Structure 1
Amino acid sequence: MIPEIRQAYNQQFSSARYADLLASLTVETGVTPAFRVAETPVFVPKKLQEQLLAAGDAVITTLLRPDLLSITETAIPAGLLVPKENHHPQFIIIDFAVTRNEAGKLTPQLIELQGFPSLFGFQELLARQYRQYMPVPGTFSTFGPGLDRQGYVELLRRCILGTHQPANVILLEVLPQEQKTLIDFVCTEALLGIPAVCVSELIQEGKKLFYLKDGEKVRVQRIYNRMIFEDLAKYKEQLGTVINFQHELEVEWATHPNWYYRVSKFLLPYIHGPFAPKAWFLHELPVLPQDLENYVLKPLFSFAGQGVIIDPTPADVEKIEDPENWILQQKVQYAPAVETPTGPAKCEIRLMYCWPDDAAAPVLAQNLARLSKGKMIGVNFNRDLDWVGGSSCFFEP
């Protein structure tokens, strides 16, 4: 996005360097990424960075509303409410499409948000590998304002460990060894010393939870939660009997499962501003827009682009039996803003915030970028293309 840096990068790029970068990810973690890593990072110009930060701050303002709990009361599906909800989620994820405004200038547009962790471990490693193997300007950084690697790791430590020792904190997931994000779990353990534990391996004694380490039971006092409840049902046969999390347990959460639903697409209709496309709950929309082709239908309770209807028709809307669980959002036109040797790529930027237990507001900590040349942005939709996939943003100082 910064023409002179982009041109120099493309000219200096080599397939051998890229192969070395990929190999280094596997060597350092012992895991080969299960998703495509892009050939390039994204170089974000100062003006776009300022807009992203302002847009992120505006979303955070919505999360700080005193009535947030009441307006999101119906966001949690029936039967999935978990007791002992804490005051706020320790992680906030906000996705923005890079678009062009009427004047042709790059500008962010809100796509989605989550009260759930992202690849905080892997993105730190990926940025280091880009810097080692690719021509990345030394003054550019992937961290949030005022952070370096040491400060970043300490911020993660405050959010994930809280006041507990690493041995008493686990990364909880459904079948972690089978997840595409396994490499992030390995990175997180390397940074903080916490193991990834499958939900089926938890041991419950009364209200206390334990896991086995070297054959010994270890108390779980805090959970870094990467588990999505829908997966408990999806993999029920493989998991067998698991803990009932709707019962009260003596454990802390980071982030508590309820926030996965509260801070989600459910909040999009409440967020307004020049960066926020119009969005409505489908059941609250009295009349469908005449230009329905300029909107997208999104199910509230899905992730990774699943179930999204990009080009909805009135017939698609009529088929929906639970309109209260869907939103209609104004479609965003991604700009082919990243020049590559095989044609321009579209870009989505994820701002990744940490919110320690004792902090008044979230802190921008890290980012993630996704490059696409297909109709959908997610890495699953660009498997056979090059210069696309997961990436990092390096911000102009």
Structure 2
Amino acid sequence: MIPKYRKQFNQDFSQEKYSLLKEYLKQKSGLEPGFRISESPIFLTKDFEAKLISASESIIDQIKTLSPDLLQKAIPDNCRVPNDTNKPHFFTIDFGICKNNNGEIEPQLIELQAFPSLYAFQKIFEDSFCEIYPFLSEIRNNMSQENFKNHLNDLIVGDENPENVILLEIYPEKQKTQIDFIFTEKLLGIKTVCLTKIKKNGKKLYYEYDGNLIEIKRIYNRVIFDELDRIPDLKTEFDFREDVDVKWITHPNWFFKISKFLLPLLEHQFVPKSYFLHEFPENENLENFVLKPLFSFAGSGVNLNPTKEITDAIEDKQNYILQRKVNYEPVFEDINGDFSKGEIRLLYIWHENDERPILLENLARMTKADMVNVDFNKKDAIWIGSSNAFFAQE
């Protein structure tokens, strides 16, 4: 994938530069990333980028035709939050980098979410790669830092004073993504607040800062709502399901509406066929499919080799899908001549008055394991972990 840049990067690479990359991120944030940073970016061709965009545009078109009533069916009754919005503010699409039956490298949809990913972090990550390897600036994302900031500021802060806008998470200091919270604070001037620290008075929400109660008017939500029930002895003054005077960015209902729930409804050459488990046809071979719970996060609950015994034992079959397996192709050569597989997440935002979302950045993940997730990598491997994609300009 773009031999010119792969060759140049591998020639320029050193462990010292890798250490410097991680040190840059630590200096800019004040802490170590909570996940593994890959030594290398991934390089993708203009043709591959065109395929990504074509598939994404088709997926967006199809989602726009779905009725609100259908999307509402995705939300579990015990997770429904009042004051829903017409659009999600965030929209991310994950594609595996795969080989088809003709030997061509192509994207294949893995999942999609209306939930914010590491937007602020990825911009700094890309900048850091370019600082250490200046030749990468030739093919960097052409959105300026100023435009990037303005888009996120308009979306998250809007017309409010930043002190009345918070990034909401549960125990943020324990999250692997804490580094992104810090970069978001620096970028937008907002505070990160733990759900357990929220104060409630009537329909108003507050957080405490310097001994004062500050009203919360907009919430940049980073809490995975359905995971709250799994936290023992969680005590909060505020329940998501209460009707409160805040603007959600993005509304929690969209976490369910734009999710694996949609995969059986989408059609495209780069969208693997998927079925709800309770609708899996008898003429399909289970060995060709991956079993996924609808509302898992970071790969939890995924079974790469489901059996009939496993699927028969599942009681809530409507909450699982079977997605046709795709062949991740090891195309990213490391300095030892070994190859990593990869996945790319396109990071969109969707302004409320816009017809279509805007692509801001990307996030890449590299692996030499079966699961493309930073938690499933071997500790002694290289060219694995969180990364960033650079595309050829011609």
Q: By how many angstroms is 1:293 displaced?
A: 1.6
Moved over 4 A (4+): none
The answer to whether the 8 Å contact 1:142/1:392 transfers is no
Tell me, in whole angstroms, the C-alpha distance in 2 between the residues paired with 1:220 and 1:93.
26
User: How many residues are treated as equivalent by the alignment?
Assistant: 391
Number of the residue aligned with 1:310: 304
Q: Which residue of structure 2 lines up, in the alignment, with residue 379 of structure 1?
A: 374
SS in 2 for 1:138: helix
Between 254-263 and 95-104, report the one with greater CA deviation: 95-104
Task: Give the CA deviation at 1:316.
Answer: 1.3
TM-superposition CA deviations, 1:187-230 (whole Å, max 9, x none): 00010011110001111110011111111111100000000123
Question: In the alignment, is the contact (CA less than 8 A) between 2:220 and 2:248 conserved in 1?
Answer: yes
Does the aligned pair in 1 maintain the 2:41–2:390 contact within 8 Å?
yes
Tell me what 1:216 maps to: 212
Equivalent position of 1:230 in the other structure: 226
Q: Indicate the residue corresponding to 2:63 in structure 1.
A: 63
Whole-Å separation in 2 of the counterparts to 1:271 and 1:205: 43
TM-score by length of 1: 0.96
Q: Secondary structure at the match of 1:273?
A: coil
Aligned pairs for 1:85-234 within 5 A: 85-142=84-141, 147-234=143-230
1:77 and 1:26, CA in 2 relative to 1: closer, same or farther beyond 3 A?
Answer: same
CA deviations 1:17-60 (Å, max 9, x no partner) are 11011011111101100100000111111000111111111111
Q: CA RMSD, aligned part only?
A: 1.3
Deviations 1:348-384 (A, max 9, x none): 0000001112222111111000000001100000141
Match of 2:15 in 1: 15
Match for residue 253 of structure 1? 248
Equivalent residues in 2 for 1:237-386 (5 A)? Answer: 237=233, 239-287=234-282, 289-290=284-285, 292-342=286-336, 343-384=338-379, 385-386=381-382
2: distance between equivalents of 1:376 and 1:91? Answer: 25
Distance 2:363 2:391 in 1: 12
Q: Which amino acid aligns with 1:254?
A: I
> Once structures 1 and 2 are overlaid, which stretch shifts more, 204-213 or 55-64?
55-64
Partner amino acid, structure 2, of 1:344: F
Amino acid in the other structure paired with 1:387: W
What secondary structure, in the 3-state scheme, does the structure 1 residue paired with 2:342 have? Answer: strand
Taking the aligned partners of 1:272 and 1:213, their CA distance within structure 2 comes to 49
Runs of 5+ unmatched residues, structure 2: none
Q: Following the alignment from structure 2 to structure 1, what is the Cα–Cα distance between the partners of residues 204 and 62?
A: 35
Q: Give the Cα separation in 2 of the matches to 1:396 and 1:118.
A: 24
Partner of 2:78: 79
Deviation at 1:241, TM superposition (A): 2.9
